[in-house]
Structure 1
Amino acid sequence: MPREPRGTGSAAPPSGTAALSAPAPVAGASAAPRGTATPLCTGGLMSVRSGRRAAAPTTGRGTLAFVESPVQLLNVLEWAYAAGESGRPTGSEGEPGRPAGSEGEPPAEGVPHGDLTLVVLSPTDPMTRGQLRRMAELARGDGFQVRWEEARGGASAPFHTIGGLTGPLRRAARIVIGDPFSRYVQLLLTITRARDLVVVDDGTATMEFVNQLARGERLVRWHRRGGRPGPRDMVFMPVSAKARRRLTPSPTGRRRVEVFSSMPIESAPDGVTVTVNSFAWTRARFGPPRIIKGADLVGTSLVETGVVDLDRYVEAVDKLARAHGATRYFAHRRESAEKLHRLAVDTGLQVVRPDLPLELIARRGPIGSTILSFPSTVVHTLPLALAGTEVRVAVMDIDPAWLTDSASPRARGFLSGVTGTARDVQRLTAPEPPAGPEGPPGVPAAREAEQQTAPA
């Protein structure tokens, strides 16, 4: 039986979100003609604060950053902020990392931005494209040039994209990437002559990348099954091997590698510099958020990647939400519409599809006083983005019984490691929804409490 929506009223979705029942169309998210490059900005850039025209990046040097997801773009902005590539917002006392004023106020002028160009290798799914468009707007607002590539817009698109990027790749002094496992990125790495390479977070995969690099293994995503490579893997193996060598520092210093991460990297390969991402740009640019009563639950794409069984996941979400009084479910951008519809019907949760990464949504608010999550990137990033607030982040382990038969043998250990290494979070045990004699048949007393305390 479908569940009644949780709460007599629900808080309005945070700024930058849309409820699943009535998703707002994403402006400019329609596909461009196949094989075309659609720059988001042309000509000179406008200075954020003064309105002066900033100089376009020089052609003989500079930095190219390649991103394929909204989180990657966010982390490039965090890296640029930490590296002094953009104006640094300051508080009234000139302290970095504190808001300069109200939400959305342009950052104060500080360290002049360098020659950083963001190249978006656009995916095809609408949710990711929409979030990337919004993040690109923020990047342009900070004075960076953004180049939008329809890198997957048809069979000929990769040839057009790579052909158009070959010159800039060979001229760039530094390359920033977000996903070293991406075949697209690996192919681009074989072209560049840049001395400096920077890897920013693309979620928890950064942990696996550093471990594989240290062990000298070929780069394979953690959720893929082991075994012999397939035919396509064999064809691409020389490219992947060359890209892996580009991601390995040279003893002579001719090739330098930095990992900019909020993940717990305890050791790194020799020569790799690890820089902590503290989400200072996010905290300086947005918030602090308005905190509302109750809990919010963060979704995961573990079902879509074939790691967790759908029925077990829906059951776990329902129990976790009922045990902690959650009323909203913040969907992962890769979660399918069918799965989200089932969650809304079976659990009564209000499903919200953010159009920005959750770190920004939470920092802008309103956000629940407790954020519930399964093992994912946010158990590492949200405590940093929400530092200085009273929001509590709690994480629920994945029960091994929830895993599918096709899940990678490494899945259980990897997910346990994601949870076990998280800092400043509360570990949750298996939830059992509380029930009381006062509640009507089939409705726990906790549900009545939710209906009384749900934020308006």
Structure 2
Amino acid sequence: MTGRLAFVESPVQLLNVLEWAHAQVTGAPGTPVAPGPSGAAPHGLAAVPGPRTPSRTAAGRPGPERSGGPGRTAAGSPAAGGLTVVVLSPTDPMSRGQLRRMAQLAREEGFTVRWQEARGGRGSLPRTLRDLAPLLRAAERIIVGDPFSRYVQLLLTLFGPKHLTVVDDGTATMEFAAQLARGERLVRWHRRGGLGPRELVLAPVSALARRRLAPGRRRTVEIFTSLPVDPPEGTTVTPHTFAWTRARFGPPRLTRGADLVGTSLVETGVVDPDRYVRAVADLARAHGATRYFAHRRESTDKLHRIAVETGLEIVRPDLPLELIARRGPIGRTVVSFPSTVVHTLPLALVDTGVKVAVCEIAPEWLRENVSARAQGFLSGVAGTAAHEVDRLTACAGPSVERLEFG
């Protein structure tokens, strides 16, 4: 397999590129499948490898254990061959740190990883385009993690691929598929209002990129996702079940307490910070939580406030949470607000007996200028997760549902 080029801008995107490459080799569950009756991707799981001795390295550090099962993505393996991963490096330190750790993991698995300082100040954009032009021209398939990225959209307008794959970048995949199916312009779900000056300037680029992100007579489009999506006709949906993660790490050691998963909804302007901190304190008391796994975009000031007011230990993961949880130690219950992890953790931890709880966002927590579209999207994230589990039982608190799997 040659001529495959992936563009990633976050640690989760890089993890999901590794998962996609693993699925191409193993064929299960990575074989492309047609969408279900509603367009949603099926969520069947591949066979899970038997238990192995967990690594004893610190949480968040990938241990030396590797399974010897089929499809192993070691150096020179079919999964790694012919795929170059280009990291369009972000500017914030937490994202850069996690990306460097994921890049190290990818290189250990035999992948070619190219670190591109795409946002390094004046002249970085033309320099990046000049550096990447030969790779783009030679690529038969382009894999992208964030179709909303202006950088990715610009690259797609200059070099239209014959085959395009979109891997998960959180719950934004759901909104991307829906907007593409409706023929709408691509706008992140938490954005408010109309087009600003920057959006007006880039509108022609975004419009052309949207057309190149859609399937056509000369282009195939695949969505590799662990989320329920309803894509446009002609799109191939491939189920993402974290088979690589489960084959490489864990099962984790479980602690007696619970862990909370943080969200950047305050930082994106959706949730009131005071309401959020009170909700975290209430959840910690209700579930006996001791640790708070911070999102990489959460501010230092907010995390300091949470630590002082709740007594929770703040953990800044240096890898995506799915890997952290799979390696352990992890709480027997993991509590999260509506986010990607209520879809992905059940897949990564399917053989562990861990319980995941999702706390819906109450309307009174939202800031005054939050759109009805954003409210509906958050409700949909939690609601679709609840329908994907085997059992749904009542949980402490008026707006909390517990998702049990094992």
Which TM-score band applies after superposition, normalised by the shorter structure? 0.7 to 0.9
Q: Do the aligned partners of residues 430 and 162 (structure 1) sit closer, same or farther apart at CA in structure 2, a change above 3 Å counting?
A: farther
d(CA) in 2 for partners of 1:320, 1:229: 38
Per-residue CA deviation, residues 268-321 of structure 1 (Å, 9 max, x unaligned), is 201100111000000000000001101000000000000000000000000011
Decide which of 237, 240, 243 is 2:206's aligned counterpart: 240
d(CA) in 1 for partners of 2:366, 2:242: 32
Decide which of 46, 49, 53 is 1:98's aligned counterpart: 49
Q: Which residue pairs with 2:244 in the alignment?
A: 281
Superposed, which structure 2 residues align to 1:344-383 within 5 Å?
Answer: 344-383=307-346
Report the CA distance between 1:77 and its aligned residue. Answer: 0.6
Unaligned runs of 5+ in 2: 30-45, 56-63, 72-76, 399-406
Q: Does 1:159 align with 2:126?
A: yes
Conserved? CA contact 2:52–2:250, under 8 Å: no
Report the CA distance between 1:191 and its aligned residue. Answer: 2.1
Q: Which residue pairs with 2:222 in the alignment?
A: 258
1:258 maps to a residue whose letter is: E
Decide which of 254, 277, 280 is 1:314's aligned counterpart: 277
RMSD over aligned Cα atoms:
2.0
Conserved? CA contact 1:67–1:120, under 8 Å: yes
2:65 maps to a residue whose letter is: E
Q: Do the aligned partners of residues 198 and 427 (structure 1) sit closer, same or farther apart at CA in structure 2, a change above 3 Å counting?
A: farther
1:234 maps to a residue whose letter is: L
Q: Does 1:208 align with 2:172?
A: no
Aligned length: 362
Q: Which residue pairs with 2:36 in the alignment?
A: none
Conserved? CA contact 1:213–1:248, under 8 Å: yes
Q: Do the aligned partners of residues 402 and 395 (structure 1) sit closer, same or farther apart at CA in structure 2, a change above 3 Å counting?
A: same
User: When you count helix as a share of all residues, which structure comes out higher?
Assistant: 2
Q: Do the aligned partners of residues 430 and 409 (structure 1) sit closer, same or farther apart at CA in structure 2, a change above 3 Å counting?
A: farther
Report the CA distance between 1:97 and its aligned residue. Answer: 4.2
Superposed, which structure 2 residues align to 1:397-416 within 5 Å?
Answer: 397-416=360-379
Unaligned runs of 5+ in 1: 1-56, 89-94, 433-456
Q: Do the aligned partners of residues 232 and 96 (structure 1) sit closer, same or farther apart at CA in structure 2, a change above 3 Å counting?
A: same
Per-residue CA deviation, residues 231-288 of structure 1 (Å, 9 max, x unaligned), is 21111011111111111111x3x200000000012x3201100111000000000000
1:358 maps to a residue whose letter is: L
Q: Do the aligned partners of residues 194 and 107 (structure 1) sit closer, same or farther apart at CA in structure 2, a change above 3 Å counting?
A: farther
Q: Which residue pairs with 2:383 in the alignment?
A: 420
1:249 maps to a residue whose letter is: P
What is the DSSP-based 3-state SS (H/G/I as helix, E as strand, rest coil) of the residue aligned with 2:134?
Answer: helix
d(CA) in 2 for partners of 1:311, 1:280: 39
Q: Does 1:124 align with 2:65?
A: no
Q: Do the aligned partners of residues 198 and 359 (structure 1) sit closer, same or farther apart at CA in structure 2, a change above 3 Å counting?
A: same
d(CA) in 2 for partners of 1:85, 1:165: 30
* TM score, norm. by length of structure 1: 0.76
d(CA) in 1 for partners of 2:353, 2:51: 20
Decide which of 214, 222, 235 is 1:272's aligned counterpart: 235
Conserved? CA contact 2:48–2:351, under 8 Å: no
Per-residue CA deviation, residues 164-186 of structure 1 (Å, 9 max, x unaligned), is 11111111000000000000010
Decide which of 258, 268, 275 is 1:295's aligned counterpart: 258
Conserved? CA contact 2:8–2:144, under 8 Å: yes
1:77 maps to a residue whose letter is: L
d(CA) in 2 for partners of 1:324, 1:167: 53
d(CA) in 2 for partners of 1:429, 1:371: 13
Q: Do the aligned partners of residues 73 and 99 (structure 1) sit closer, same or farther apart at CA in structure 2, a change above 3 Å counting?
A: farther
What is the DSSP-based 3-state SS (H/G/I as helix, E as strand, rest coil) of the residue aligned with 1:131?
Answer: helix
Report the CA distance between 1:62 and its aligned residue. Answer: 1.2
Per-residue CA deviation, residues 332-383 of structure 1 (Å, 9 max, x unaligned), is 0000000000000011111110000000000000100000000000000000
Q: Which residue pairs with 2:74 in the alignment?
A: none
d(CA) in 1 for partners of 2:215, 2:238: 15
Report the CA distance between 1:406 and its aligned residue. Answer: 2.5
Superposed, which structure 2 residues align to 1:1-20 within 5 Å?
Answer: none
d(CA) in 1 for partners of 2:207, 2:65: 45
Conserved? CA contact 1:370–1:393, under 8 Å: yes
Conserved? CA contact 1:393–1:426, under 8 Å: no
Q: Which residue pairs with 1:194 in the alignment?
A: 161
d(CA) in 1 for partners of 2:251, 2:168: 24
Report the CA distance between 1:407 and its aligned residue. Answer: 1.7
2:380 maps to a residue whose letter is: G
Q: Which residue pairs with 2:190 in the alignment?
A: 223
Q: Which residue pairs with 2:145 in the alignment?
A: 178
What is the DSSP-based 3-state SS (H/G/I as helix, E as strand, rest coil) of the residue aligned with 1:190?
Answer: helix
d(CA) in 2 for partners of 1:166, 1:83: 26
Q: Which residue pairs with 1:76 in the alignment?
A: 17
Q: Which has the higher Rg, Structure 1 or Structure 2? A: 1
